Structure 1
Amino acid sequence: MRERRRSHRVTYNAVINIDQVYNQEQIIKGTREFPVEILDISKGGIGFIAKEELPINFYFNAKIDLGNGKQFYSVLKIMRVEEIEEGYNYGCEFTGLADILSLYIDEFEQEKSI
């Protein structure tokens, strides 16, 4: 099977909080935060597990902490969801990730591969 990913994934175990889930027409989760467990990260997006069900093609705001003082806020779009024993496994893509933030992820990937 041919690999379709544009960016290499790096294992990344962390917890972030999502504070809003929305699309252009509605907000379904307002300012209430809930934790998600990030499984991996790439310049293209993140994979995570959450206990709450979220709809595909919705967006959310997240604060990502890569350690070493490198944190950034980003908007992610939910691209896929799979129900699993622990809750739901999501695949999300970054929307409008700035070049400097993309460099943070490159550096994080290099640190993890050493």
Structure 2
Amino acid sequence: MKERRRDSRVPYNAVMTIDEVYNQETSLKEEQVVQIKVTDISKGGMGFETDAELPLNFYFNAKIDLGNERFFYSVLRIIRKNPIENGYDYGCEFTGLADILSLYIEDFEEEVQKN
């Protein structure tokens, strides 16, 4: 299978919470927040796992903390969902990520490759 990614992924271990997923017509507010385990990140987006089923082409807000005082807030769109044992594996893309913020991810990738 041909690789379609534009940006390389690097491991990124973090736990985040989502309290709302939305699109232009609908907002799905959960009665409790959904915890996600982030597995990787690239300049284009990130992958995560969770036991909750989330809809494709919906958005959520996230704070991305890459350490060393490099963090930013972003909107992500869920573009891929695959069932796995005990939940789902998701892929999402950053929407409207400023170039300066993608530099944070490049710096993070360089740090990961050095270690």
TM-score clears 0.5: yes
- Cα distance, 1:33 vs structure 2: 2.7
State the distance in 2 between where 1:22 and 1:44 align: 20
State the distance in 1 between where 2:31 and 2:24 align: 17
State the distance in 1 between where 2:92 and 2:83 align: 15
Q: TM-score, normalised by structure 1?
A: 0.94
Query: What amino acid does structure 2 have at the position aligned with 1:90?
Result: Y
Query: What amino acid does structure 1 have at the position aligned with 2:78?
Result: I
State the distance in 2 between where 1:103 and 1:95 align: 15
In the alignment, which residue of structure 2 is the partner of 1:44? 44
In the alignment, which residue of structure 2 is the partner of 1:108? 108
Secondary structure (helix, strand or coil) at the match of 1:97 reads coil
In the alignment, which residue of structure 1 is the partner of 2:25? 25
Q: TM-score, normalised by structure 2?
A: 0.93
Asked whether the equivalents of residues 14 and 38 of structure 1 are also in contact (C-alpha less than 8 Å), the reply is: yes
State the distance in 1 between where 2:39 and 2:24 align: 28
Asked whether the equivalents of residues 19 and 62 of structure 1 are also in contact (C-alpha less than 8 Å), the reply is: no
Q: Which runs of 5+ in 2 are unaligned?
A: none
Structural RMSD (CA): 1.3
In the alignment, which residue of structure 1 is the partner of 2:2? 2
List 4+ stretches of structure 1 deviating above 6 A: none
Q: Which runs of 5+ in 1 are unaligned?
A: none
